[in-house]
Every structure is written in structure tokens, then in C-alpha cells.
């Protein structure tokens, strides 16, 4: 059994404790994964030959009567670039909507299969190395994307599946890291800092992809982002460890504070890994509340993340550079407000003003009600571009509540199995990521109109409503009895974490 490594002090002293160095680098890692996930959504706008695709539609699809023509004209916005003579930018690839949907969804094929195996590896061996390898796979696949895409779009499919395999390991790995590093009363804010990296990475990726593809071609998106991401791997390798007992760059006081609150003072105890009580997991109502909320939320999240650039192109008629700027706009305020929400909830919990259950339900309500209302407004906004951008921005900002809502809830109900639980719910929630691009492609094929997008938005609103009702009624922030049973059976030697304070379990 590995001995405890002597603590020599945080590399940034009291300015930034070791646990927040982990949170920041974890956030950067999640930013990389999400940045490399969404870059194709923007780059594809520059990769496609829109003129040739539109010409093919005109040959295969015609509107036969005047009433349909009038209706179609009302449902299509005017391209603002047409008034100033700006030509529509075209790329080299003539891919149908079906192929486009496949390319955008195939990432989730790999994402789906890798999560549970990576969760067990992270829990039993090393979450640090699982995270490192997952980013490494994404970097290599991103750098190979331009060459293989030019050969055949099947090459792009293979690279996207590989990126999905790497990406699928990140949430289980980071949940294990949070469970090992975050004191109970800092869990919301640390989870939010780490997972808000997904929105930061999305924003930076969308902006970079728009600028790079406009100035140096779509290939530059993958070369630049792949190389920049490799820098993170070096920092993660040398500065991060799986738990405070293995971390050299930490003060003795911080280590004692974390391990005493989590019950991981003894290295041997921390190395023990209790078996997952599968039957009790699958019969747990709070777990099913998380699972359903995660699936419904991911439908809306991927709708905003993957499809909004296409909505802005097809309906609002923005060019690739403007598209990227407006698509990225919401994610910066989302980052700030999500952290503030997490900090506020943690502060209220620490003072005994609210319970963990109330905190999780409040945050989840925010990430369902606000986006749902915004999508409803978007269905009736028509071609008012400024209003549409403002509404989309508010909706995406509201979704930031999920980071301190249901997405942190796995650690509350069973911290020993946090990686496995998030792997299960995130695997199920990956299915919307596969379905959404195909569904949008099916609805908008030969029908890139406001009416088609209304159908897409109404479906998303219904799922937000289901998420809200299920989690508010059945969700819980209490540590579950089946987690405590495992502690008793292990005679306290297999318990790396103590129950949360009673005030959080009221």
C-alpha cells in the first residue's frame, strides 16, 4: 500500500489552495473536451458547399402551389448579406443533411460505450490517469481530422468516435476527483468551477473555430485547437494527484482539513473500494430522479450546444463569423453566474439556511424553467435577429444551473460510487446527443424554415417540463441508506467519505 506523501505546500501558497488548483485545471480539461466536441458544429458551416447543397434541394424538391409558396416565404428569413452583396461562403464538401446529422452524432457512439468502464477504472485505480488519457485521445484525433476528412467522411466519423470514447471518460473521472478532494460545504462551488469549463470551452471553441475557419480555412480549426490542448496535459501530469494524501503540492493544514471532513485521514482506508450495490442503485428513487433529469437536460443542452449554430445559419442567416460570435456570446456570462450560484448555495448550506436537497432542486429548477420559457419565446419571435440572440443568450445562461443542480447530486447521495453513478446517468443522457442531430436533420431536410424549428423547440420544452417535475418531486440531496450499509459491512475500513452534516440531511 502506498505511503502518504509529505506535504510541502501549495505551489501558489495561500493565494490558491491545492484543491482549487485541481478545480481550475479540471475546468480547463473539461473545456478542452467540450471545445474539441463542438468545434465541428461551427467548422462544418465553413466546410459545407452550401450553394451545391441548395442546388440539389431545388432539383429534388419543389413547392407546387401558390399557397405553399406564400407560406414558405413567410417562414424564411431574409439574408442580411444579400442586401450588401456579401457572398455566401462555401467549403469543399457536399454532404446531405443525413450525412451532416451522422457526423455530428457519431461522437456520442464512442461517448456512450466508454463511460461505465472508465468509471470503474477511475474508482479502483486512478481518476487522474483516466482524465489524462481521455484528453490525449481527443488531442491526437483532432490533429488527424483534416487529413482523414479529405480522404473520405468515414475518416471523420472514426476520429469523432475516438474523441467520444475519450470524452465519455471525463465526467466519471472528475466526479471521482471531486469526491476525493471537495469538502462537503464546498462541493457545489468546486463542482461548478470544474463543470462550468464545459461552457467556457464551448465559448472559446466556437469563437476560435469561427475566426480560424474564416481567416485560414476549416483545417486550421483542428490543428490550432489540438496543439493548444496538448499544453494542458503537461500541467495535469505534474500538478495533480488522485487525492490529498498523494499530493505533494499541498499544505499540511489544507490536507488535514480535507481528509478530516471526508474521513480519508488514513491512506489505507482511501485505497479501499467497496463493491457497487447494483440492486439498491437501480431501485433508488433519488437516483432515478437524477437519471431522468440528466437525460432531459442533455436533450436541451445538446440542442443549444450543437444545433444553435445551424439555426442561426439556416433561419437567422448569419455568416460564419457572425454565427460564431453570437453562438459563443452566452457562455461567458453563463460561466460567471454558474459559479456565483454554486457559491451562494454552498454558503446558504454552510449556514444551515437550506438543505442539500433544497440547493439541488433550486439549481435544477433554474436550468429548466428559464431555458423552457426562452425556447417558447423563440418559437414566436420570427426573424427578429437581435431579439432571438438575446433570448438564446438568456436560455443558455439559465442552463448553467445544472452544474450545481442534478449534476452534483450523485456525490450527495453516494460519494463512494460517484464515478459509477454519473457514468450510468451520463451514458443514458448520451442518447439524446445521438438523437438530436438526426432528429433536427430529419425535420429540417428540404424545410429549413421557422416552422420546422418550432417543432424542434416544442419537443425540447416538453422535456424540460418533465425534468423539472420529476426532479422537484423525487430528487434528494441526502446520503442514501444503501451507501451507509456498505460502510457498516466494511467495518469503516472501506469508507473513504463520512456522511454530510445532519443539517444537510434534514
- pLDDT at position 367: 94
CA atoms of 489 and 479, how far apart (whole Å): 16
On whether the CB atoms of residues 77 and 383 are closer than 8 A, the answer is yes
What's the pLDDT at 371?
Answer: 94
pLDDT at residue number 416: 83
| Helix/strand number for the chain, H first, E second | 26, 0
Q: Where are the alpha helices (DSSP H) in 170-284?
A: 170-181, 187-195, 197-216, 218-239, 252-262, 267-271, 278-282
Which is nearest to 371 in space by CA: 391, 350, 345, 386? Answer: 391
The answer to whether 312 touches 323, Cβ cutoff 8 Å, is yes
Answer yes or no: are the C-beta atoms of 413 and 477 closer than 8 Å. Answer: yes
The answer to whether residue 76 sits within a structural domain is no
Could you list the residue range(s) of the whole structural domain that residue 248 is in? 14-54+89-504
Cα 241 from Cα 260, distance rounded (Å): 18
d(CA 120, CA 393): 37
DSSP string, 308-366: HHHHHHHTS---HHHHHHHHHTTHHHHHHHHHHHHHHHHHHHHTTSS-HHHHHHHHHHH
CB 310 within 8 A of CB 440: yes
- Is 362:407 a contact under the CB 8 Å cutoff? no
Between the CA of residue 14 and those of 255, 357, 427, what are the distances in Å? Answer: 13, 32, 39
Residue 275 counted as domain residue = yes
Taking phi first (over 0 means left), then psi (-120 to 50 degrees means alpha), and beta for anything else, what does residue 469 get?
alpha
The answer to whether residue 59 is domain-embedded is no
How high is the pLDDT of residue 65?
A: 44
Question: Is position 489 within any domain?
Answer: yes
- Whole-angstrom Cα distance, residue 438 to residue 444? 10
Q: Is 471 within a domain?
A: yes
Distance CA 82, CA 89 (A): 12
Contact 196, 428 (CB under 8 A): no
In a domain, 199, yes or no: yes
Cell numbers found for residue 393: 443568450
Which residues touch 268 (CB under 8 Å, ≥6 apart)? 1, 493
Residue 398 falls within a domain, yes or no?
A: yes
Residue 293's alpha-carbon distances to 289, 297, 397, 411, in angstroms, are: 6, 6, 18, 15
* CATH code for the domain of 462: 1.20.1250.20
pLDDT at site 491: 43
- Which residue intervals of 63-181 are DSSP H helices? 66-74, 80-83, 97-105, 107-124, 127-151, 153-168, 170-181
Which among 100, 196, 266, 160 has a CA at the least distance from the CA of 408? 196
Question: What is the pLDDT, as a whole number, of residue 499?
Answer: 47
Q: What angle do CA 371, 457, 104 make, to 5 degrees?
A: 100
Rounded Cα distance, 192 and 342, in Å: 6
All 3 cell numbers of residue 244?
A: 490529498
Rounded-to-integer distance, Cα 424 and Cα 428, Å = 6
Secondary structure (3-state) at 264: coil
Q: At which residue does the C-alpha cell 470551452 appear?
A: 201
Q: How many domains does the chain have?
A: 1
Helix (H, G, I), strand (E, B) or coil at 48: strand
Q: What are phi and psi of 342, to 5 degrees?
A: -60, -45
Residues 6+ apart with CB under 8 A from 503: 349, 352, 355
Which residues of the chain have a pLDDT value below 70?
Answer: 1-3, 13, 50, 53-89, 265-273, 306, 309, 319-324, 484-506
- What whole-number distance in Å separates Cα of residue 140 and Cα of residue 426? 24
What pLDDT does 405 receive? Answer: 92
Residue 304: DSSP 8-state: I
Domain annotation covers residue 72: no
Amino acid at each position: 500500500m502506498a505511503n502518504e506523501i509529505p506535504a510541502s505546500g501549495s505551489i501558489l501558497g495561500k493565494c490558491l489552495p491545492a484543491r482549487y488548483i485541481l478545480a481550475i485545471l479540471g475546468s480547463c480539461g473539461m473545456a478542452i473536451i467540450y471545445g474539441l466536441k463542438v468545434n465541428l458544429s461551427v467548422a462544418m458551416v465553413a466546410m459545407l458547399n452550401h450553394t451545391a447543397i441548395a442546388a440539389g434541394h431545388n432539383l429534388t424538391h419543389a413547392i407546387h402551389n401558390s399557397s405553399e409558396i406564400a407560406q414558405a416565404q413567410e417562414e424564411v428569413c431574409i439574408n442580411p448579406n444579400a442586401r450588401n452583396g456579401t457572398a455566401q461562403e462555401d467549403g469543399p464538401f457536399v454532404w446531405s443533411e443525413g450525412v451532416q446529422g451522422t457526423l455530428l452524432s457519431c461522437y456520442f457512439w464512442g461517448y456512450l460505450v466508454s463511460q461505465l468502464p472508465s468509471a470503474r477504472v477511475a474508482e479502483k485505480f486512478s481518476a487522474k490517469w483516466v482524465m489524462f488519457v481521455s484528453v490525449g485521445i481527443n488531442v491526437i484525433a483532432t490533429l488527424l481530422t483534416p487529413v482523414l476528412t479529405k480522404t473520405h467522411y468515414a475518416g471523420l466519423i472514426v476520429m469523432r468516435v475516438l474523441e467520444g470514447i475519450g470524452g465519455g471518460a471525463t465526467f466519471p473521472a472528475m466526479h471521482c476527483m471531486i469526491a476525493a478532494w471537495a469538502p462537503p460545504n464546498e462541493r457545489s462551488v468546486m463542482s461548478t468551477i470544474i463543470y462550468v469549463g464545459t461552457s467556457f470551452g464551448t465559448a472559446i471553441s466556437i469563437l476560435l473555430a469561427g475566426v480560424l475557419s474564416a481567416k485560414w480555412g476549416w483545417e486550421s480549426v483542428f490543428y490550432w485547437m489540438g496543439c493548444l490542448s496538448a499544453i494542458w496535459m503537461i500541467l495535469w501530469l505534474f500538478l495533480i494527484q488522485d487525492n490529498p494524501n498523494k499530493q505533494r503540492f499541498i499544505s499540511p493544514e489544507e490536507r488535514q482539513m480535507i481528509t478530516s471532513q471526508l474521513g480519508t485521514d488514513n491512506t489505507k482506508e482511501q485505497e479501499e473500494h467497496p463493491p457497487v450495490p447494483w440492486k439498491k442503485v437501480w431501485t433508488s428513487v433519488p437516483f432515478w430522479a437524477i437519471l431522468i433529469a440528466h437525460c432531459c437536460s442533455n436533450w436541451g443542452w445538446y440542442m443549444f450546444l450543437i444545433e444553435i449554430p445551424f439555426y442561426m445559419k439556416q433561419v437567422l442567416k448569419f455568416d460564419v463569423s457572425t454565427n460564431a460570435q453570437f453562438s459563443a456570446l452566452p457562455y461567458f456570462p453563463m460561466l460567471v453566474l454558474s459559479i456565483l450560484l454554486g457559491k451562494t448555495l454552498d454558503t446558504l448550506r454552510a449556514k444551515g439556511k437550506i438543505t442539500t436537497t433544497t440547493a439541488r432542486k433550486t439549481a435544477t429548477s433554474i436550468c429548466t424553467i428559464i431555458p423552457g420559457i426562452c425556447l417558447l419565446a423563440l418559437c414566436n419571435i420570427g426573424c427578429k435577429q437581435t431579439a432571438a440572440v438575446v433570448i438564446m443568450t438568456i436560455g443558455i445562461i439559465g442552463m448553467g444551473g445544472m452544474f450545481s443542480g442534478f449534476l452534483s447530486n450523485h456525490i450527495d447521495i453516494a460519494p463512494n460510487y460517484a464515478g459509477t453513478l454519473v457514468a450510468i446517468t451520463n451514458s443514458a443522457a448520451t442518447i439524446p446527443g445521438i438523437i438530436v442531430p438526426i432528429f433536427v436533420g430529419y425535420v429540417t431536410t428540404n424545410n429549413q424554415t421557422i416552422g420546422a424549428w418550432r417543432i424542434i423547440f416544442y419537443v425540447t420544452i416538453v422535456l424540460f417540463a418533465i425534468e423539472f417535475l420529476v426532479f422537484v418531486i423525487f430528487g434528494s440531496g441526502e446520503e442514501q441508506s444503501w451507501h451507509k450499509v456498505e460502510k457498516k459491512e466494511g467495518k469503516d475500513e472501506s469508507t473513504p467519505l463520512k456522511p454530510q452534516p445532519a443539517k444537510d440531511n434534514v
